[in-house]
Chains A and B, each alone.
Chain A
Amino acid sequence: SAVISQKPSRDICQRGTSLTIQCQVDSQVTMMFWYRQQPGQSLTLIATANQGSEATYESGFVIDKFPISRPNLTFSTLTVSNMSPEDSSIYLCSVAQGYQETQYFGPGTRLLVL
């Protein structure tokens, strides 16, 4: 499976600011995904990021709040904009590989907004 890294691993931010999270994969992948996992909750898909096209956002998530870039087949960024304490979560990127698009997750970015 792909080796996935994320930066930063954790951050503490002030409300109203923005944070950009980077996701790097060691091999070329078509499909990358961004998830949010709020404390004590399961994973919620934010958007699907395919290279060469606009990200596809899930219901409840908008581009102005969570802009995504996908400049090539090994890299993506997610920005959390105008943050509020409700944005405190773990943000995870994943990639789909192999049979039946099995997804593998990066280590996550732990965000605390004060």
Chain B
Amino acid sequence: QKEVEQNSGPLSVPEGAIASLNCTYSDRGSQSFFWYRQYSGKSPELIMSIYSNGDKEDGRFTAQLNKASQYVSLLIRDSQPSDSATYLCAALWGKLQFGAGTQVVVTP
């Protein structure tokens, strides 16, 4: 059974701080990992994809992949109230397998 695990939260982060989200996956066969953001009542929106070990930065977002340890993380720098959402980690094993999502709450 291929699984993606995330802490459901909520993760409370002061405005301006760094939010750190973690995700582990069960099978080394995946080569593609994704982070989606989902606002309440909205559909998931792709914010980052990562395929190689190391860091990938896009604006205030940094994704980190460590295939040896089978984890993916997402850092959100200078967190804003508009970052308050559920963040879904997903791994591609033929089909896309989602974690349960981590709720992030940015407090002013």
Interface residues, chain A, with chain B CB atoms under 8 Å away: 1, 33, 41-43, 45, 48, 58, 90, 92, 99-108
Which 10 residue pairs of A and B lie closest in terms of their CB atoms, listed nearest first?
Answer: A100-B32, A108-B43, A105-B43, A42-B98, A43-B98, A42-B100, A105-B44, A107-B43, A42-B101, A92-B43
A contact face: mostly helix, strand, loop, or mixed: mixed
A42 adjacent to B92 (CB under 8 Å):
no
How many B residues face the partner with a CB closer than 8 A?
A: 19
CA distance in complex: A48, B42 (Å)? 22
A45 adjacent to B44 (CB under 8 Å):
no
CA distance in complex: A90, B42 (Å)? 10
Chain B residues within 8 Å of A1, by CB = 46
CA distance in complex: A108, B43 (Å)? 6
Which residue of B31, B42, B88 contacts A43 across the interface (Cβ within 8 Å)? B88
Which residues, 67 to 94 on B, are CB-close (under 8 Å) to A? 88, 92
